[in-house]
Amino acid sequence: MRYITGTFLFSFLILSGVVHSQDSTFSVEEVIVTATKTEKTLQEVPVAVSVVTADTIEKANITDIYDLRSIIPSLDSRRFTTPTEATYVIRGFGNGSFNPGIEPSVAVFIDGVYRSSMQAQIADLPAIERIEVLRGPQSTLFGKNATAGVINVVTKKPSFEKSSYVTASVGSNNMKKFKYYTTGPLNETVAYSLYGNVHKADGHSENMITGNTSNTRDRFSFRGELFFELSNGATLRVTGDFDEYDEICCAVGSANYGVGNQIQALLGGGIIPNNPFTEKVFFDFDPVTEGDNSGISLHYKKERDGNTLESITSVRNSFNENVQDVDFDGSPTVAPSPLSKDLEAVTQEFRLYSNNNEKVNWLVGAYYYQEDMVFNESIYFGQTWRTYVDAFLPTGTISGIAAAFGIPDSILFASGQGGTESATQDNTTTSIFGQLDIKLSEKLSAIIGVSYMEDEKTVSYSQINTDVLSNLDFVAAGFPPSQASFFRGLQLVPQFTNFPNAAQDGKSTDDNVDYTFKLLYSVNEAISVYGGISTGFKASAWNISRNSDADANELAGLIAAGTPPSPNRSVGRRYAGPEEAEVIELGAKIYLPSGYLNIAIFDQTIDGFQSNTFIGTGFVLANAGSQSTDGYEFDLVYSPLENIDITMSGTFLDPIYDSFPGSAFGDLTGTTPSNIPEDTIATSVTWNWDMNGWDGFTRLSHLYSSEAVLLENTEAQAIIESQGNGIRKMDTLNFSAGIEKDNLSISLYGQNINDDEYLTSAFVAVVDFTQTTYFGYPNNYATYGLNVNYKF
């Protein structure tokens, strides 16, 4: 039915005369993109790409990359426990949150520099030229971790024309924001720009224990640039940036009020049953996330006779630490759980390409990436932990365990016990790539691209575990296997085997060849069609979580080496193999009298999708045999009248696990992956007007997505559905309006003005041994604001 609808739309536009013939005239502003690593118009590139202009970012009140989901239906973004634990999803494909060993499937580049994780991307957007969202695998040209797509952020270059502006904003939740930007010449050959941003806001959910709010904003960023026109005709752009954040986040609510909640309530917990949208949380302390990012990049460009050389060099540092209340309730069952991640990265890219040859254009390049990570996390029993656990057990169980091992009863489940994990990962990636754009005839051209990538990781992971229960060998003590397994299930901090060790060196090396082949045919001046195939690759991922442990082969190696692992442990998954993506795509790029319509039909598959599933105490990392989706998309930008702008974009998917026999919840083959709606549509209408010397606009936008289940565990999904919390569906309305005269502009905005409510995700409680307690992350509630901008 969805394909019929899309075909009807396309046919209607042609038959109604909206699409012009070769001899017709049309007027549309050209949109320049760098989706093929060289500047071309949006309608020239045979790539499914959505472009967000600076004007749209301003009118839609887009604050950071995360907010793009409100206007690009093929892009989804999900935030979880902290502001830095989030992930991007394109066409239903995406991962990389929670587990620092798993790299994202959606690659984010800012001015050509790769940002490896959400903590490195968290800052509010600087002065933007445009943002491109490339859909489908893009590994041929963008290399690292682009199996699902690319978010390519392009900022404003320094200008030799002097200009400045300041923007002050106030809004809901005591929001206050200030931005300053200035650019101009230092002399005839050097231009500069400076940008600063301060953003503060209270949260939307009150913590009933501490009196503070959750989901706050407290961010500061600074960016300075120099642009040199060198004597040899080359240019050099030097960029330095710094940002920091210190926020309380993130609110959760009860998706199913289970046994864990009921016991917590007896110990001082207060979460409101089965209603995640109460705007109240019950953390016994405020969960704080803070960190900073900094970097410098050098972009050198030299145009020569017949070709252009570009070099992008960067050095970046990122530090994040947070302290979480992982029991998500008001009782001190689990002590504050600190986590930190420190990243240091160096990148270098070279590109050499031809300058608009008549028949054949070419591009060759090389890329180098080095990132070192240090990761630490801890979790320890709180003051009420023993009482909490004892409530789950038959009377006398704890004292019976103590007697069996001849140890004092008081040291089992004692406050202060727990574990600290420390990990390092050194990652080096190198790639070479090339592409040919061949004009086969006046109307037909071919693009052929190929890349070769090598990825090396060296990982270490160790644990200090003071949980007495985790160090008891129940099997050796004569407990039956079923009882030993039951007691192992009571571990908040399971034992795992440190590595490198005698059977695991903690190293992985992957290499791969990716390619793209596309044909582009110009039907006439207004219409071009394209089709082809592209592939993508993401290297092996290491499981840096508490469920990282020796597999059967490593276990056998340790026993053979005379160094058996600690007792009372289970066989786990140490790492997952690479992801390999492929998409077959057909598309059309169509100029309209005043706008454009772009359509893509695709069949996309990721073999070995790196699934990272939360099971209560940690994450199970596994490769899905194959995850695929087929569907179609369209982007429509159209102005039926001179002062009316209409946009409509849609993504229609049919996602499925083609093969996933080894998931954490059994065989998921033939099922639909969680949290992926089949239909998503974003629409906006903007009325531009002028009156008494004032220019103004009024914009109304709507985001719709169809129903999607939140959990892949069918039993758990049924539990939260019974409370009305298992289905995610979006139906969100936003508006903005503004006036401008001379150098002054004033705008109002409202987001989610219809009070749409949905959960972005749901999860099982960390400390409910019955697996009946589930929490969910609510979406952002209605907010309103006022912006005042002055240019000088």
**Residue range 371-391, pLDDT digits in tens:** 999 999 999 999 999 999 999
Residue 28 has pLDDT above 60, yes or no: no
pLDDT digits (tens, 9 = 90+) for 565-586: 766 666 668 889 999 999 999 9
User: In this predicted structure, what is the pLDDT of residue 167?
Assistant: 98
pLDDT digits (tens, 9 = 90+) for 418-446: 999 999 999 999 999 999 999 999 999 99
Which carries the bigger pLDDT value, residue 40 or residue 28? 40
**Tally of residues, the chain:** 792
Return the beta strands (E) in 202-234 as ranges.
Answer: 205-207, 213-214, 217-229
User: In this predicted structure, what is the pLDDT of residue 573?
Assistant: 81
Phi, psi of 505 (to 5 degrees): -85, -5
Burial of 90 from C-beta contacts in 10 A (0-12 / 13-18 / 19+): buried
Q: Answer for the pair 362, 437: CB distance below 8 angstroms, yes or no.
A: yes
What is the mean pLDDT of the segment spanning 709-718? 93
Give exposure, 76-88, as e/b (b: 16+ Cβ within 10 Å): bbbbbbbbbbbbb
Q: Answer for the pair 659, 635: CB distance below 8 angstroms, yes or no.
A: no
- Tokens representing 637 are 């930008």
Strands 128-135 and 49-53: antiparallel
Three-state DSSP class for 116? coil
Which carries the bigger pLDDT value, residue 191 or residue 144? 191
pLDDT band at 8 (very low <50, low <70, confident <90, very high): very low
Lowest mean pLDDT among 181-185, 358-362, 455-459, 614-618: 614-618
Rounded to two decimals, the pTM is: 0.93
Lowest mean pLDDT among 22-26, 307-311, 453-457, 775-779: 22-26
Q: How far apart are CA 494 and CA 467, in angstroms?
A: 9
Q: How far apart are CA 627 and CA 619, in angstroms?
A: 19
pLDDT digits (tens, 9 = 90+) for 120-161: 999 999 999 999 999 999 999 998 889 999 999 999 999 999
Q: How far apart are CA 519 and CA 525, in angstroms?
A: 17
pLDDT band at 460 (very low <50, low <70, confident <90, very high): very high
Three-state DSSP class for 158? coil
Residue 180 has pLDDT above 90, yes or no: yes
Q: Answer for the pair 548, 100: CB distance below 8 angstroms, yes or no.
A: no
User: In this predicted structure, what is the pLDDT of residue 144?
Assistant: 84
Computed over every residue of the chain, the mean pLDDT equals 91
pLDDT band at 21 (very low <50, low <70, confident <90, very high): very low
Q: How far apart are CA 131 and CA 31, in angstroms?
A: 11
Residue 1 has pLDDT above 60, yes or no: no
Phi, psi of 546 (to 5 degrees): -65, -15
Residue 651 has pLDDT above 90, yes or no: yes
User: In this predicted structure, what is the pLDDT of residue 282?
Assistant: 94
Query: Per mean pLDDT, which of 26-30, 381-385, 470-474 is the most reliable?
Result: 381-385
pLDDT band at 2 (very low <50, low <70, confident <90, very high): very low
Residue 43 has pLDDT above 60, yes or no: yes
pLDDT digits (tens, 9 = 90+) for 214-231: 999 999 999 999 999 998
Chain-centre distance for alpha carbon 539: 18
- Tokens representing 214 are 């959750």
